[in-house]
Chain A
Amino acid sequence: MSDPIHSLSLKKLRDGIHAGNFSVMEATDAYLERIANFNEELNAFITVTRDSAQAQAVEIDNRIRKGELDGAMAGLPYALKDLFCSKDVLTTCGSNMLRNFVSPYDAHVAERLKAAGGVLLGKNNMDEFAMGSSNETSAFGNVRNPWDTDCVPGGSSGGGAATVAARLAPVALGSDTGGSIRQPASFCNITGIKPTYGRISRYGMIAFASSLDQCGPMAPSAEDCAITLNVIAGLDARDSTSVDRPVPDYTATLNDSIDGLKIGLPKEFFAEGLNPQVGAVIERAIKEFEARGAIIKEVTLPNSHLAVPVYYVVAPAECSSNLSRFDGVRFGHRCENPQDLKDLYERSRWEGFGAEVKRRIMIGTYALSAGYYDAYYLKAQKIRRLIQQDFAEAFKDVDVIMGPSAPTTAFKLGAKKDDPIAMYLEDLYTIPVSLAGLPGMTFPIGFAADGLPVGMQLVGNYFEEARMLNIAHQYQLSTDWHTQVPAKFA
């Protein structure tokens, strides 16, 4: 008997379709059936686009048969985090503010995947406006981690991580502002990459903190991520921060040798705060790289302990500015019977946003208010430079940096819900990378003593995504952590 469709990599799915082993419709239906069976338990999707997926599948089957489509993602099902605008599809951003928002246009990445012949299965649950590290701030209920349904999947791209971990889609797009791809991918035993800031257009990706937000793929393997990144990376005039720089074929270098690779371990990432169970798994994986000929060096990022404080000025400041667009006038929630314009704004926003979003808007508004700008935003931007310089120094000695993606494994639902600071510290190791604008990824390296997955964070220099994917792929060629699926979802 051949392998079930949901166990196939993107490459094998594509090849199976093109060889005529199964149709796009069969692949699409296989995933839709899994979503129908498992989503109620996981709550990983806010919207399932069953009808449009089946219609797209028919059309793409025809186009492939006629020879009009033969790209690497032709016919492949995928899911989108619900902050990517999808034309004629509900796009909520996990918020009551956008509970009824049917987007009139497609995000750049949605356009790219459509043009490549992908089939949209649905929109993934997420922390409201991507603000959270557990997916518990969603207005559409929390997502459950397929590895232990009493645990969180991480956040903010928790829906996408759970979706891929349970194989309800072969790939999902997430977004990462301070760790929102890497931390949930780590909690759910999948691979995820946040490329260099500017590598992928943010057009149509609902903004949280514009100087940090970046889209990226989440999938079982580095190869799957490389295939997806090939489709979505590159210049887009509609995002002025999108970088005008050629996009390499990320799959072409996956098999390059990693002999002599110089790996830096930041001593600050192995200090107090790291759960020893997680540390033990990380150290074992580092030894595996060493056994394969990598050279391990200690590096230092002396300002990295300041990253979380800096982030909680920069991100809320940008969020308070970005989210001022939600005014109850042009789109989104509007309060009942507004007495005057001020009442319309104030009640629509108070009712539409959840508590964490309102906290961040207020912190940002406070930090940017008259008299405080120098002490908060300007100071934070200066320390951000120091954090970036730490990485620049480290990259003089090493090719890549490795360390934990998160200080813990997935925690229990509700464990940190009422303690914002404890939640913020979840992103201790991912935030410095985001502030520097560097590419960061995570890939599965095993399970801690509590039975939950651990991800290795891999940080490259600017635009070194191909090298990072190559390193993770080489690791995955000789390990099977990334192919493991919770028994219930196998």
Chain B
Amino acid sequence: MAISEAEVRKVAHLARLAMTEDSVEAYTRNLSNILDLVAQMEAVDTDGVVPMAHPLDMTQRLREDVVTETNHREAYQAVAPETEDGLYLVPKVIE
């Protein structure tokens, strides 16, 4: 296996996924298969190759530093699971 069950549990936590214990085995197998596929990259000589971040090698377009967004708080909060007085509600964070 290219990845262990312990590593899968750790990655699930890093990705903020509450992985259930009965799923660990299947994910470990599937992720290992994907990593085996990806391992074909290792054999390639990439010394001196510039990584490609963008196909067109563009530079970032800049805009005037002015306000362009209007306030949509009400519309955006209308789709939130829970809000109160214009604030998003989450479980208590600080005791």
Q: What are 18 A-B interface contacts by the 8 Å CB criterion?
A: A198-B58, A211-B55, A309-B40, A329-B80, A331-B80, A338-B90, A342-B16, A343-B91, A346-B13, A349-B16, A349-B17, A358-B17, A362-B15, A383-B41, A383-B44, A383-B46, A421-B33, A438-B55
In the assembled complex, the Cα of A197 lies from the Cα of B58 at a distance in Å of 11
A488 interface hit (Cβ, 8 Å): no
Q: Which residues of chain B are within 8 angstroms of A328 by Cβ–Cβ distance?
A: 81
- B54, A381: Cβ atoms closer than 8 Å: no
A306 interface hit (Cβ, 8 Å): yes
In the assembled complex, the Cα of A421 lies from the Cα of B13 at a distance in Å of 24
In the assembled complex, the Cα of A365 lies from the Cα of B53 at a distance in Å of 18
- A386, B56: Cβ atoms closer than 8 Å: no
- B38, A241: Cβ atoms closer than 8 Å: no
Q: Which residues of chain B are within 8 angstroms of A375 by Cβ–Cβ distance?
A: 42
Enumerate chain A interface residues (CB-CB to B < 8 A): 101-105, 196-198, 211, 237, 240-241, 243-244, 303, 305-306, 308-310, 312-313, 320, 324, 327-334, 338-347, 349-350, 353, 358-359, 361-363, 365-366, 369, 375-376, 378-386, 388, 420-421, 424, 436-438, 462
In the assembled complex, the Cα of A383 lies from the Cα of B46 at a distance in Å of 7
Pick the residue among B7, B18, B40, B81 that contacts A350 (CB under 8 A): B18
- A340, B91: Cβ atoms closer than 8 Å: yes
B95 CB to nearest chain A CB (Å)? 10
- B41, A379: Cβ atoms closer than 8 Å: yes
Q: Which residues of chain A are within 8 angstroms of B7 by Cβ–Cβ distance?
A: 366
Number of chain B residues whose Cβ lies closer than 8 Å to a Cβ of chain A: 52
- B90, A329: Cβ atoms closer than 8 Å: yes
- B33, A197: Cβ atoms closer than 8 Å: no
Q: Which residues of chain B are within 8 angstroms of A383 by Cβ–Cβ distance?
A: 41, 44, 46, 49
Q: Which residues of chain A are within 8 angstroms of B40 by Cβ–Cβ distance?
A: 305-306, 309
In the assembled complex, the Cα of A339 lies from the Cα of B92 at a distance in Å of 9
B51 interface hit (Cβ, 8 Å): yes
B19 interface hit (Cβ, 8 Å): yes
- A365, B52: Cβ atoms closer than 8 Å: no
In the assembled complex, the Cα of A353 lies from the Cα of B63 at a distance in Å of 36
In the assembled complex, the Cα of A438 lies from the Cα of B55 at a distance in Å of 8
**Known: A309-B41, A329-B80, A344-B91. Contact between A385 and B20, CB under 8 A?**
no
Closest-by-CB residue of B relative to A100 is B79
**Known: A197-B55, A344-B91, A362-B27. Contact between A382 and B17, CB under 8 A?**
no
Closest-by-CB residue of B relative to A347 is B18
B90 CB to nearest chain A CB (Å)? 6
Main secondary structure of the interface of A (DSSP, over half): helix
Q: Which residues of chain A are within 8 angstroms of B11 by Cβ–Cβ distance?
A: 362, 365-366, 369
Closest-by-CB residue of A relative to B76 is A104
- A102, B79: Cβ atoms closer than 8 Å: yes
- B17, A197: Cβ atoms closer than 8 Å: no
Q: Digitize B21-65: 1 where CB-to-A-CB distance is under 8 Å, 0 elsewhere.
A: 000000100110111011111101010011111111010110100
Given A243-B56, A309-B38, A420-B34; 6 other pairs, CB 8 A cutoff: A196-B56, A237-B63, A327-B16, A383-B46, A386-B46, A421-B34
In the assembled complex, the Cα of A303 lies from the Cα of B40 at a distance in Å of 11
Q: Which residues of chain A are within 8 angstroms of B44 by Cβ–Cβ distance?
A: 303, 306, 379, 383, 386
B82 interface hit (Cβ, 8 Å): yes
- B91, A197: Cβ atoms closer than 8 Å: no
- A198, B56: Cβ atoms closer than 8 Å: yes
- A104, B78: Cβ atoms closer than 8 Å: yes
Q: Which residues of chain A are within 8 angstroms of B41 by Cβ–Cβ distance?
A: 306, 309-310, 313, 376, 379-380, 383
A431 CB to nearest chain B CB (Å)? 12
B35 CB to nearest chain A CB (Å)? 7
Pick the residue among B13, B33, B55, B78 that contacts A436 (CB under 8 A): B55
Q: Which residues of chain B are within 8 angstroms of A344 by Cβ–Cβ distance?
A: 90-91
In the assembled complex, the Cα of A427 lies from the Cα of B95 at a distance in Å of 50
Q: Which residues of chain B are within 8 angstroms of A333 by Cβ–Cβ distance?
A: 81
**Known: A381-B52, A385-B51. Contact between A308 and B37, CB under 8 A?**
yes
Pick the residue among A305, A331, A346, A382 that contacts B51 (CB under 8 A): A382
In the assembled complex, the Cα of A436 lies from the Cα of B78 at a distance in Å of 40
